[in-house]
Structure 1
Amino acid sequence: MQEPALATNRVNLKLLQTFLLVAENNSFREAADLVSRSQSAVSTQIKQLEEQVGVALFHRTTRKVKLTAEGLQLLDNARRAVNEIELGLRNLREVADMKRGRVALACAPTLAATRLPRILAAFEKEYSGVKIVLQELKSSELFQSVRSGDVDFGIGPVVGDGDFEFEPIIAEAIHALVPRQYIRTKQSEITLAQLAELPIIQFHAATVMAQLVAEAARTHGLVLNTRYQCIQGQTLVALAEAGLGATILTGSVARTARSDTVQKMLIVEPTITQHFGIVRMRGNMLSPAAARLVELIRSMTREDAGISAPKRRRPKIINKTE
C-alpha cells in the first residue's frame, strides 16, 4: 500500500512567503498590498496552506488576524527555512559573479607602480573569469571617480572627507633619495632641516604627499628649495639618479631605485607618514568579486606593513661645490 504524501512535499515556497507576509503584518489586506494582489487571492493561498498542513494557522475576526499556536510554531520554522533558501541562492549568485564578474578600481600612482601589480596577478590567477578595469589616478581624480560611481572602490591616501569610508591598509614612511654627491658617507637617515639645504624634487604641490611634507616643513619653520614637481614616482627617481636634487617619496617607491648614484634615507625630525586605504562611498556595498579583491589587497599589503626603522645616524651634508 502506498503511503500518503507528506504535507511538506505539497507546500510550495510561494505559500510560505504569503503566510509570512500575513503573519508579520497581522493583516490580509496589508499582505495583499505588498504583493500587489487582491485580498481574496491572499486569503485563498492561506486556506490552501492550512488544508495542506491540516491545521488552522490564524484566528480570523472582523477586526484583526491572530496566529494560532500552530501558526506561531510555523512562523518560526518558516522564517528559518526562507532565510536558509535565500542564503543558498545568494551564495549561488556570488559563485556565478566570481566566475564572470567585473571589478573597476582606481589606484594612486604610488601604489599602482609598486604594490598593486602582484596583487592583481594573484587575483587573476585565482579568478580568471573576472574582468579587472584599472584607472591610475592622482588623489583628486581618484576621489571623484569613486564619488561618481565610475569605479567600485579606490586605493589612495586617507584624508578627512565625510563622504567616503576609508579602511587604512598600509602606512608608508616618507624617504628621500639623495644623490651621493651631496653626502660623504653612507647614511640611513636625514632630517628635514638637512633636506632644506638641498635642491628638492617632489610630488606636485596638489598631491596629498606634497601637502604632508609642506605641513611638516611649516610646523618646523623650514622652507624647502623645491626645483622640480612631478606626478609619477618613476620620474622622481630618475631625476634623483641624474643628480638633479634630493627626491622626497614613499619608501616603496624609493626601493625601486637601482642606481648606486643615490642613497635611500628615512626622513626624521620629523618622521612623516602617509596612510593609504580602501576608499568607498559611505554606505556602498561591494559586489562579491570586488569584495574578494579588497580582501586580497588587505591581506597582501599587511605582509609589507611591519618595516622597522633603521638606527638613527645623521649624515654630513655638503654643498655641491665642495
Structure 2
Amino acid sequence: MVMTGSRREELSVRRVRSLLAVAEHCSFSMAAQELGLTQPAVSQHVKQLEEQLGLDLLKRDKEGLRLSSGAAALLPAFRRFLSSNGAILDQLASLGQGAEQILRIASPASYAALFVVPVFQALRERFPNHILDISEIDDEESIRLVRDGDIDFGITSVFVPSPGLHFEALHQDFACVVMSEFNTLAKEAEIDDDAIVSQPMIRFPSGTTSHDWLSAIMERTGVEPKTIAEVRQLVTGFHMIRQNLGVAVVPEGAAKACELPGLTTVPLSNRSLIRTLGILTNDSHHPTDFERTLVDHLRNKSKVLAE
C-alpha cells in the first residue's frame, strides 16, 4: 500500500513519537515506560503508522528489535517532524505571552554561553519582547537547519561551501586538554600528543570539534587511547573529568564556558588544532532588525577579543 496524496497530512505525532522511542530503546516495554503509556498502546501506535505508510517499520532478528531499512531511511524526517511540532507549540506559547519575534539559532554551547547570552542581555532593553530560541549544536546538522529554513542562522565550525549558503568567520580558539587537578599532568605548562594519548579519554560524539581533534592526534601518533566514556553533553563530560576518570581534548571556549572547581586546563604544545567559528546564513533569508543588531554585536565582541 502506498500513502496517497490525500493522506500525507495525517501523520500522528503520538505514532511517530512511539516509533522513535521503540527505536531508541529497541524495546516496546522500555518505550512505553519512557512515554508513560502501556505497551499495547505503543504497539498499536507503531502498527497504525505502518498501516498508514504501507511500510514495515520494525524487524526482529537475531540481533533483536530494530528499524527496518525503510524506517531507517525515514528516521531523519521523523525526527524533524517531532522537532518541528515541538517548536510550533513552544513558539505559540511564547507568542501568546506577547512576544514580538522569536529568533531561532543554532550554536555550540560554549559560544552561546560566552558570546550570544551576554549580547542578548545587552539588547534586552531595546528589544524587550523578543525571544531567543537556541539549539546547542556543534556539528553539520546546523547546515541542514539553515538550508531548510528551520533556524534563522547558525554559529558553526563545520561548513562545506554550498549554493545559497554564506559563511562569515567570527571567532577562533585553540585546542586544550581538560583534566582533574589531581592528574599527574595538571601542573604542566603545555601537553604534547604523546602525553595526551597516554591518558584515559572522555570522548564526545562524532562530528564535533573535540572528536575530530582527538582523531587528528591519534592519526599523528598512531596510538588510540583508552576510552573511559562517550558523552554528548559538555557538563556531563566535565563532571566525569573532575572525578579524575579521564581527560578530554576540547576547544578553549568550551573549557572556559564549563569551568568547574577541581578542573585544570592545559594548552597543547602543537597549536595547529584551531576551531574557526562563524555565522552561517541562507541567502534567501531576510533578517529582522533584532537579528541584524544581535549579529552586529557578535561581530564587534569577536573583534574586541581578537585585538
TM-score bracket, shorter-length normalisation: 0.5 to 0.7
Match of 1:259 in 2: 261
Q: Would you say the 8 A contact 2:166–2:281 is kept in 1?
A: yes
Q: Does 1:137 align with 2:133?
A: no
Does the 8 Å contact 1:179/1:263 carry over to 2?
A: yes
Deviations 1:136-181 (A, max 9, x none): 2342332222111011101121422324311111111111112233
Counterpart of 1:159 in structure 2: which amino acid? F
Corresponding residue for residue 128 of structure 2: 128
Which residue is equivalent to 2:30? none
Q: Separation in 2 of the partners of 1:298 and 1:269?
A: 28
Would you say 1:235 and 2:233 are equivalent positions?
A: no
Aligned counterparts of 1:277 and 1:161: Cα–Cα separation in 2: 13
Cα distance in 1 for partners of 2:157, 2:185 equals: 35
Task: Provide the residue aligned with 1:292 in structure 2.
Answer: 293
Report the identity percentage. 18
Report the Cα distance in structure 2 between the residues aligned to 1:230 and 1:199, rounded to whole angstroms.
14
Residues 184/175 of structure 1: CA separation in 2 closer, same or farther (3 Å cut): closer
SS of match in other structure, 1:259: coil
Instruction: Quote the offset at 1:276 in angstroms.
Output: 0.7
Question: Which runs of structure 2 are paired with 1:30-41 in the superposition (5 Å)?
Answer: none
Farther off after superposition, 177-186 or 139-148: 177-186
In the TM superposition, what are the counterparts of 1:1-322 in structure 2 within 5 Å? 100-163=100-163, 164-183=165-184, 186-255=187-256, 256-260=258-262, 262-282=263-283, 284-305=285-306
CA distance in 2, matches of 1:196, 1:160: 29
Within 2, Cα distance between the matches of 1:257 and 1:300?
A: 21
- Displacement after TM superposition at 1:273 (Å): 1.0
Counterpart secondary structure, 2:156: strand
The answer to whether the 8 A contact 1:191-1:270 is kept is no
Structure 1 residue 211 displacement after superposition: 1.6
Task: Say how many residue pairs are matched.
Answer: 207
Q: Which moved more, 1:175-184 or 1:287-296?
A: 175-184
Paired residues of 1:202 and 1:249 also in contact (CA < 8 A): no
Question: Residue 108 of structure 1 contacts residue 155 of structure 1 at CA under 8 Å; is this kept in 2?
Answer: yes
SS at match of 2:125: helix
Alpha-carbon separation, structure 2, partners of 1:267 and 1:220: 14
Structure 2 stretches of 5 or more lacking a match?
A: 1-98
Contact 1:201–1:245 at 8 Å: present in 2 too? yes
Contact 1:109 1:232 in 2 (8 A): no
Q: Deviations over 1:15-66 (max 9, x none)?
A: xxxxxxxxxxxxxxxxxxxxxxxxxxxxxxxxxxxxxxxxxxxxxxxxxxxx
Q: Return the TM-score normalized by structure 2.
A: 0.60
Native 8 Å contact 1:216 1:272 kept in 2: no
Report if the CA contact (8 A) 1:170-1:277 is conserved: yes
- Distance in 1, Cα, partners of 2:105 & 2:169: 16
Gaps of 5+ in 1: 1-98, 307-322
Distance 1:184 1:247 in 2: 13
Q: 1:173 to 1:185 in 2, by over 3 A?
A: closer
Amino acid corresponding to residue 258 of structure 1 in structure 2: L
Letter in 1 for 2:120: L
What secondary structure is seen at the aligned counterpart in 2 of 1:244? Answer: coil
Partners of 2:226 and 2:271 in 1: CA distance: 17
- Give how far 1:101 is off: 4.3
| Higher-Rg member (1/2) | 1
Q: Which runs of 4+ in 1 moved over 6 A?
A: none
Q: Read off the aligned partner of 1:130 and give its amino acid letter.
A: H
Separation of aligned partners in 1, 2:271 and 2:301: 29
Q: Give per-residue Cα distances to partners, 1:77-127, cap 9 Å, x unaligned.
A: xxxxxxxxxxxxxxxxxxxxxx94442212222322333221221122332
Report how far residue 220 of structure 1 moved: 4.2
